[in-house]
Structure 1
Amino acid sequence: MSDNETNISATTTADYSAYYDEATNNYSPCSFDYVQNFGSVFLPTLYSLVFIFGVIGNGLVVCVLTKHRSQSNLTDVCLLNLALSDLLFVVTLPFYAHYAVVKEWTTGEFMCRFVSGFHLIGFFSSIFFLVVMTLDRYVVIMHAHRVAGHRTVRTAVALSAVVWFLSTCVSMPGFVFTKMINDSQQSCLYAPDNKSWHYYTLITTNILGLVIPLLVMVVCYARIIPTLVNMRTVKKHRAVKLIILIMALFFLFWAPYNISLFLRFMVNESILKSYCDLDNNLKLLMTVTEAIAYTHCCLNPIIYAFVGQRFMKRALQLLGKCVPGMHFHSTRESDSSFRKSSVMSRSSDVTSTYIM
């Protein structure tokens, strides 16, 4: 496999062995011992934390929304699917953490394809559900009267099915082209024969994973913020701050990783001249930025669920019942107080439940 093929595939399927063991047909031999040693400590540590907090946070979201499924609306269904996407994503991380430590894939080719494919599905579906929730937030606030009768659970289920289908289609090359390669050690690599598939993974990761979602957020929230500011609610400033936080965190967590992918691509295509220090720095950059980007899935429950008053009360209520010795008297308020049927109250529902 060429250096170009290995690098692009590695960064799009979290294949850490390729960071260290790639062929060097186009470059003079370089030592990547520092990057390898750093990754064998940094990645397992961070991925373990992401796995623990991701499972706890997203698992609680799933439990709360499932328990109150009879009172669900479109927002709740989207939150549930976002949590499921993040759970699917984080359960693949222990495999890559182990891979980084032992520097060899030990679970066989089936798991190699399975983990890689579901890792990508979790990644894309999580991003797509963030886009759906942004668009839903936009139409509810900007066109509340028009969409009042269409934001049903049936609509939410249909949208969710479309998102999962698209995510699976986009991720299919991960199932098809990821394979076990036995060289000096067993590696799990994304290794299509056609170079075009490497461009495909790079484009989908950057365009679908960053550019389009960020563009949707900027356009929608740029229209939403002036409307919120003009609302007669004391909570509007908190809502505006949270909107800015949502966009800032998404950009700060994902942009560095996508930039590192693009820089690696430019080196592989000889657009940038390669030398040992640059190659080492890029490998280190990709290792760090990719791992940090993955921690965003731990923030989703906090940003989109726990900040909502209704969800927070339900979560505390559930914890009060499940954890011995924990009592939350303030959570006894009935959920019926949150079920508003008037069209005029829907925009404030959005502000108080899943923008806040």
Structure 2
Amino acid sequence: MSETTAGYTVTVTMKTEYDYDEYFEGSDYYSLCDSRGTMDFSRMFITVLYSLVFILGLIGNVLVVCVLVKHRNQTTLTDICLFNLALSDLLFIIMLPLYTDYTVVKNWTHGDLLCHFAGGFQRTGFFCSIFILVVMTLDRYMVIIHGTKVAKYRTMRTGVALTVVVWSLSLCVSLPAFIFTKETKEPNGPGCRYEPENKAWKVYNISANNILGLVLPLMVMILCYSRIIPVLMRIRSSKKQRVVKLIVSIMVVFFLLWTPYNISHFLIFLQSDYNLIDDCDSIHNVKLSLIVSETLAFTHCCWNPIIYAFVGQKFIRRVYLLLSSWVPGIKRSRRDSSNSFSRRSSAASRSSESTLTM
């Protein structure tokens, strides 16, 4: 640009540099392309789905916790794992109203401190769930492959020790999320997103998601069940098969829900750092895939009680017994369930399998 001042011609060169990272970070993922349609879809889709997930997940997981606590005298190592799985789901669930409000209002109105906790609890719940699934897989492997050799080690003390290890490890892995998820300034007002100090922590976040949260657990489960399934086909133990069926169902649902999110998040990371996508249609599709996959992934916290209901016969009976003590209107169901339960009480008392799966 040229300007004439007091007979002199002054040439002024103006250079503007844009930081495109902000368009691919956080919950809104602003971009130079028009994304208003994507954001409108996001608000409607997330609000409806998160509301349903919150209600179903809260009721279902509270029932799981209550059933396990009520029958704690019959608790096994598998029950302890299922108890911690329900707690990790509840930790995830209590954050959903915050995300729903953030999506509807388009501003983070809960302060910086709660933003730190929301990001940290979300990550802790995710890693705790996956670590518990790994423990349950290894436990099934030891029981079925090595049998009575490990029976004496499957005690309440072992379960408590594993609980401490799993939660401690989950908190340690999630510590950067507690630190770097913070209130930020966005075009529409305050936001809440993972904002690391340097690129190394961004790489850590992606690596932890995909390596600790996907690749390594999947490898462990494939290796273990490649040995477990042939053994079960030979011995045909109905009790062991029910427990394995429950655990495999939980794992399949978990990976089906979380794998698309991890892949979408990885693509966003590559785009923000290496600009692999340069057309608006592709950018729109990537953002839309992240919104949908993230929302579906967050629904995992309400699926486990549904799986228990379909796979675990004893779980349904004990839910009836529990609800009958709270709601007088289902006394009849209690008597029916009690009669059914009493016919099998002898075998159940001798069983070393899960409280929820018999």
- Which bracket does the TM-score occupy, shorter chain normalised? 0.7 to 0.9
2:170 to 149, 153, 167: 167
Residue aligning to 1:130: 133
Q: SS at 1:131's partner residue?
A: helix
2:39 to 24, 33, 36: 36
Residue aligning to 2:142: 139
CA contact 1:229–1:237 (8 Å) conserved in 2: no
CA contact 2:123–2:174 (8 Å) conserved in 1: yes
CA contact 2:124–2:174 (8 Å) conserved in 1: yes
Q: Which moved more, 1:185-194 or 1:95-104?
A: 185-194
CA contact 1:121–1:171 (8 Å) conserved in 2: yes
Change (3 A) 1:58 1:243: closer
Residue aligning to 1:92: 95
Q: SS at 1:295's partner residue?
A: helix
Q: What is the CA–CA distance in structure 2 between the aligned matches of 1:167 and 1:101, rounded to whole Å?
A: 30
- AA aligned opposite 1:151: R
Q: What is the CA–CA distance in structure 2 between the aligned matches of 1:161 and 1:5, rounded to whole Å?
A: 38
Residue aligning to 1:293: 297
Give a deviation string over 1:105-140, Cα, whole Å, max 9, x none: 001111111111111111111111111111111111
Q: What is the CA–CA distance in structure 2 between the aligned matches of 1:318 and 1:241, rounded to whole Å?
A: 25
1:3 aligns with 2:20: yes
CA contact 1:113–1:178 (8 Å) conserved in 2: yes
Q: What is the CA–CA distance in structure 2 between the aligned matches of 1:240 and 1:115, rounded to whole Å?
A: 33
Q: SS at 1:181's partner residue?
A: strand
Residue aligning to 1:72: 75
Question: How far 1:247 sits from its partner (Å)?
Answer: 4.5
Residue aligning to 1:55: 58
Q: Which moved more, 1:307-316 or 1:99-108?
A: 307-316
CA contact 2:308–2:315 (8 Å) conserved in 1: no
- AA aligned opposite 1:80: F
Structure-1-length-normalised TM-score: 0.86
Q: What is the CA–CA distance in structure 1 between the aligned matches of 2:61 and 2:195, rounded to whole Å?
A: 32
Residue aligning to 2:11: none
Q: What is the CA–CA distance in structure 2 between the aligned matches of 1:244 and 1:140, rounded to whole Å?
A: 15
Q: What is the CA–CA distance in structure 1 between the aligned matches of 2:186 and 2:284, rounded to whole Å?
A: 22
1:280 to 284, 308, 318: 284
Give a deviation string over 1:78-108, Cα, whole Å, max 9, x none: 1111100000001101100110111100011
Structure-2-length-normalised TM-score: 0.86
Aligned length: 334
- AA aligned opposite 1:72: T
Q: SS at 2:274's partner residue?
A: coil
Percent same amino acid at aligned positions? 52
After TM superposition, list the pairs within 5 Å mapping 1:1-356 onto structure 2: 2-4=19-21, 7=24, 10=26, 16-17=27-28, 19=29, 21=30, 29-184=32-187, 185-233=189-237, 245-270=249-274, 272-304=276-308, 307-326=311-330, 327-332=333-338, 333-334=341-342, 335=345, 337-340=347-350, 346=352, 349=353, 354=357
Q: What is the CA–CA distance in structure 2 between the aligned matches of 1:323 and 1:141, rounded to whole Å?
A: 40
Structure with larger Rg = 2
Q: What is the CA–CA distance in structure 1 between the aligned matches of 2:309 and 2:176, rounded to whole Å?
A: 32
Question: How far 1:36 sits from its partner (Å)?
Answer: 0.7
CA contact 2:277–2:283 (8 Å) conserved in 1: no
Q: What is the CA–CA distance in structure 1 between the aligned matches of 2:328 and 2:78, rounded to whole Å?
A: 31
Query: Any stretches of 5+ residues in structure 1 without a counterpart?
Result: 11-15
Question: How far 1:301 sits from its partner (Å)?
Answer: 2.2
Q: What is the CA–CA distance in structure 1 between the aligned matches of 2:346 and 2:84, rounded to whole Å?
A: 24
Change (3 A) 1:239 1:190: closer
CA contact 2:85–2:132 (8 Å) conserved in 1: yes
Give a deviation string over 1:226-253, Cα, whole Å, max 9, x none: 1111124467776776666445433321
CA contact 1:5–1:195 (8 Å) conserved in 2: no
Change (3 A) 1:306 1:81: farther
Q: What is the CA–CA distance in structure 2 between the aligned matches of 1:227 and 1:262, rounded to whole Å?
A: 37
Q: SS at 1:273's partner residue?
A: coil
